[in-house]
């Protein structure tokens, strides 16, 4: 009996270790908000000190769906989005040229490096990213979002009339983006659709909503 219990424990431990890692923002962040968008990377990631292949290599990051190297890094500090089962790895971009992007490779310390683009379509501005993933998966409020951000306005203007307030949203569907505002349709806890404009991003780049990528 004891052997069976041990075998079951080992089986579940191995199963847990093989699970793919998921990284998605869950809390409003007020640090390092001055970013342009995201870049989709693939392993290995070679990060240069300058947008020049002859410049110093800062580090080389390798990953699988559940393992990251160098071992001093963690998935949450390297990626803004990581879905191991979907092979989706996105890093936040702080600068861009025609052939290069500067990305944050350690969100905790704010360390950046340059990646040579292997495909120009792998870079997406925040608006393009939200249009792509927000329309596909819907949106979610990040923890710590101020209550006034949950007001639905009649137009994309802070001084416009507040139509209603979002309480416990089940679904937030994105229609269009106008600057720092979005036209959304929300299915709230009362199951009544609510349509209007909400602010998704502050003037300082702080984001209050994020695509609910699954």
6: confidence class by pLDDT, cuts 50, 70, 90: very low
Q: What domains lie within the chain, and their CATH numbers? A: 20-118 (no CATH), 136-211 (2.30.30.40)
Per the prediction, the chain carries an average pLDDT of 91
Nearest 5 degrees, angle CA 79-CA 12-CA 72?
30
**Is the pTM of the predicted complex or chain greater than 0.85?**
yes
Residue 19 pLDDT: 78
pLDDT in tens, 67-93: 999 999 999 999 999 999 999 999 999
Beta-carbon contacts of residue 56 (< 8 Å; ≥ 6 apart): 48, 49, 50
Cα Rg for the chain, rounded, in angstroms?
A: 20
Instruction: Compute, in degrees rounded to 10, the torsion defined by CA atoms 101, 90, 74, 20.
Output: -150
Residue 189 pLDDT: 84
Residue holding tokens 């500090």? Answer: 77
Beta-carbon contacts of residue 159 (< 8 Å; ≥ 6 apart): none
CA 93 to chain centre: 12
Q: Is the per-residue pLDDT at 130 higher than 60?
A: yes
11: confidence class by pLDDT, cuts 50, 70, 90: very low
Residue holding tokens 């998921």? Answer: 22
Mean pLDDT, range 32-50, rounded to an integer? 96
Residue 94 pLDDT: 97
Name the DSSP letter for residue 109.
T
Q: Is the per-residue pLDDT at 143 higher than 70?
A: yes
Mean pLDDT, range 161-189, rounded to an integer? 95
Nearest 5 degrees, angle CA 170-CA 210-CA 190?
15
Q: Is the per-residue pLDDT at 48 higher than 60?
A: yes
The closest of 69, 79, 64 to 24, measured between CA atoms, is 79
Q: Is the per-residue pLDDT at 15 higher than 50?
A: no
Q: Determine phi and psi for 115, rounding to 5 degrees.
A: -115, 130
Long-range Cβ pairs for the range 186-195 (8 Å, 24+): 186/152, 194/152, 194/163, 194/164, 194/166, 195/152
160: confidence class by pLDDT, cuts 50, 70, 90: very high
pLDDT in tens, 106-120: 999 999 999 999 998
């Amino acid at each position: 009996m004891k052997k069976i219990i041990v075998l079951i424990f080992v089986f579940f431990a191995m199963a847990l270790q093989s699970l793919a890692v998921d990284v998605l923002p869950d809390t409003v962040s007020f640090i390092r908000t001055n970013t342009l968008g995201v870049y989709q990377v693939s392993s290995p990631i070679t990060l240069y000190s300058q947008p020049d292949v002859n410049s110093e290599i800062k580090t080389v990051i390798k990953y699988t769906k559940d393992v990251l190297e160098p071992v001093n890094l963690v998935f949450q500090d390297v990626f803004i989005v990581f879905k191991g089962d979907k092979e989706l790895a996105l890093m936040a971009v702080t600068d861009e040229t025609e052939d290069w992007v500067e990305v944050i490779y350690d969100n905790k310390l704010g360390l950046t490096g340059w990646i040579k683009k292997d495909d120009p379509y792998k870079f997406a501005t925040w608006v393009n990213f939200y249009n792509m993933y927000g329309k596909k998966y819907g949106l979610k409020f990040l923890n710590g979002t101020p209550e006034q951000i949950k007001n639905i306005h009649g137009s994309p203007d802070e001084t416009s009339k507040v139509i209603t307030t979002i309480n416990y949203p089940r679904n937030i569907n994105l229609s269009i983006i106008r600057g720092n505002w979005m036209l959304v349709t929300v299915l709230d806890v009362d199951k009544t659709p609510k349509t209007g404009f909400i602010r998704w991003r502050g003037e300082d780049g702080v984001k209050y909503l994020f695509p609910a990528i699954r």
